[in-house]
Amino acid sequence: MSAWRLVEDEPAAEQPRPERSRAGGRRFLVVAAVVLLTLVGAGGLAAARTGMFAERPDGCAKPDRTIQLYAVELPKDGTQVRLGYGLTPQTASYPGPLMEMVEGECLAITLHNLVPEATLAALRTNPDHPLGVSLHVHGVKYTQDSDGTVQSGSYVPSGGSRTYTWYAQPRNPKTGALGTAGYWWYHDHVVGGPHGTQGLAAGLFGGLVVRRPGDPKPDRTYAVVFGDRQSINLRRGAATDTCDEVDPQPGPTCLIARQGERVEFVVIGVGNDMHTFHLHGHSWADTRTGTVSNGQPFADSVPIIDNKALGPGDSFGMQLVAGDSVGPGHWMLHCHMQFHSDAGMSTMLHVLDRDGNMPPGMDHEHDAAPAAAAPAIDGGDHQHN
Q: How many CA atoms lie within 13 A of 302 on its CB side?
A: 18
Q: Report the site for a second copy in 266-295 (rule: CB under 8 A).
A: 269-276, 278, 280-281, 283-289, 291-295
Question: Which range binds a second copy by CB under 8 A, 73-81, 115-123, 156-164, 326-334?
Answer: 326-334
Choose which of 62, 360, 372, 373 interacts with a second copy (CB under 8 A): 360
Q: Do the Cβ atoms of 331 and 282 come closer than 8 Å? A: yes
- How far apart CA 286 and CA 299 sit, in angstroms, is 11
Q: Which of residues 148-207 bind a second copy (CB under 8 A)?
A: 149-152, 167, 169, 171-173, 175-182, 184, 193-195, 197, 200-201
Residues 6+ apart with CB under 8 A from 230: 236, 335, 339, 340, 341, 343, 344, 345, 377
Binders of a second copy among 76-135, rule CB under 8 A? 86-87, 91, 93, 97-102, 105, 107, 125, 129
Q: How many residues bind a second copy (CB under 8 A)?
A: 184
- Within residues 332-351, the interface with a second copy by CB under 8 A covers 332, 334, 336-342, 346, 350
Q: Which of residues 17-56 bind a second copy (CB under 8 A)?
A: 17-22, 26, 28-31, 34-35, 37, 39, 45, 48-49, 52-54
Q: How far apart are alpha carbons 362 and 37 in whole angstroms? A: 67
**Kind and range of the H or E run holding 70:** strand 65-77
Residue 159 or residue 256: which is nearer to a second copy going by CB? 256
Which residue number, 119 or 149, has a Cβ lying nearer to a second copy? 149
Q: Can you tell me whether residue 240 is helix, strand or coil?
A: helix
| Identity at 42, one-letter amino acid code | A
Identify the CA nearest to 369 among candidates 350, 385, 346, 349.
346
In this structure, the number of other CB atoms found within 10 A of the CB of residue 91 comes to 13
378 binds a second copy (CB under 8 A): no
Query: Smallest distance, Å, CB 1 to a second copy?
Result: 6
| Per-position x/- string for 295-314, each x denoting binding to a second copy as judged by CB under 8 A, each - no binding | xxxxxxxxxxxxxxxxxxxx
